[in-house]
Amino acid sequence: MSNITLHTLSARKQAGEKFAVLTAYDATFAHQVSSAGIEMILVGDSLGMVLQGQDSTLPVSVEEMAYHTACVARGNQGAMIMADLPFMSYATPEQAMDSAAALMQAGAQIVKLEGDAWLCESVSLLAERGVPVCAHLGLTPQAVNKLGGYRVQGRDKHSALKMLEDAKALEDAGASMLLLECVPSLLAEEITRNVDIPVIGIGAGPHTDAQVLVMHDMLGITAGRTPKFVKNFMAEADSIQDALQQYGDQVRDGRFPAEEHGFD
């Protein structure tokens, strides 16, 4: 496929066309994922859990994220690469700029930060300096200790309204994308409708502009409990490449996620 850019994905949103996002952490899987036509690769700090065996994403460092981003960049065949800024690597705007510089120099084309309106200053500074930002709202795994576990966010009226306001504030600050994790489907639909930038969902229902899954989850090889929003695409596939292509196709044509993958 031709190189995917922010312009490509923004045009998809305006045309009402969905796109697929999937994690990868090395050159081999980056090649497979991008060759399957997946539009965006997320080098997630989820690598702490699925690669390193940690019990959360918190131990992951900027240096580790830069290493895996560089590996992905070497195997990538035209997908856009997004990389997570890990825990406490963007607590101040100055820190955010230093951390983002390391990931962009390693091969990222957009960085993702977890948090709400408090991020606006950092988002603005990064955007002004040529660093595209995806703001991650809803369940933010780096804040799992504060949230009291992996819980659906935005279920009451007050928190839902705040999330909508935060989404608009981050867009106004210069965010190029939003990611909503474990958010009620109706709230995710409202946020997606009320911002002009692409919205990626995970456990956020079928109405966002894109979907993301952890690759190990959608291949059915993650140990332990499978989240409600995950579908095992290997169950009906002949190969990993077939499973990757089915995932992309089903996201684009609206078959995934189905109603049972979302939250009320």
CATH of the domain at 149: 3.20.20.60
C-alpha triplet 139, 140, 144: angle, nearest 5°: 95
State the CB neighbour count (10 A cutoff) for residue 76: 22
In the chain, % helix, strand, coil (3-state, to 5) comes to 45, 15, 40
Instruction: Give a yes or no: residue 68 inside a domain.
Output: yes
Specify the pLDDT at position 146: 86
How do 40-43 and 19-23 pair as beta strands?
Answer: parallel
Catalytic residue among 181, 190, 236, 260: 181
Residue 180: domain span: 6-261
Distance (Å, whole) CA 95 – CA 183: 29
With bands split at pLDDT 50, 70 and 90, how would you rate the model's confidence at 144? confident
Mean pLDDT of the chain: 96
- Calculate helix-pair angle for 93-106, 62-75, nearest 10 degrees: 30
CA-derived radius of gyration, the chain? 17
Identify whether 181 is a catalytic site residue: yes
Specify the pLDDT at position 148: 76
Instruction: Give a yes or no: residue 1 inside a domain.
Output: no
Instruction: Give a yes or no: residue 140 inside a domain.
Output: yes
Task: Please check the confidence at residue 19 and state whether its pLDDT lies above 80.
Answer: yes
Specify the pLDDT at position 223: 84
Distance (Å, whole) CA 109 – CA 203: 24
Q: What is the mean pLDDT of residues 6-21?
A: 98
Specify the pLDDT at position 195: 98
114 labelled binding-site residue? yes
Specify the pLDDT at position 9: 98
Instruction: Give a yes or no: residue 184 inside a domain.
Output: yes
- Three-state SS sequence of 158-214: HHHHHHHHHHHHHHHHCCCEEEEECCCHHHHHHHHHHCCCCEEEECCCCCCCEEEEC
Instruction: Give a yes or no: residue 94 inside a domain.
Output: yes
Q: What is the mean pLDDT of residues 75-88?
A: 98
Instruction: Give a yes or no: residue 27 inside a domain.
Output: yes
Q: What is the mean pLDDT of residues 140-169?
A: 92
172 labelled binding-site residue? no
C-alpha triplet 80, 86, 91: angle, nearest 5°: 120
157 labelled binding-site residue? no
46 labelled binding-site residue? yes
Instruction: Give a yes or no: residue 129 inside a domain.
Output: yes
CB 42 within 8 A of CB 22: yes
Specify the pLDDT at position 236: 93
Q: Specify the number of domains making up the chain.
A: 1
With bands split at pLDDT 50, 70 and 90, how would you rate the model's confidence at 147? confident
Instruction: Give a yes or no: residue 167 inside a domain.
Output: yes
Write the CA distances from 54 to 45, 92, 220, integer angstroms: 11, 26, 19
Task: Please check the confidence at residue 202 and state whether its pLDDT lies above 90.
Answer: yes
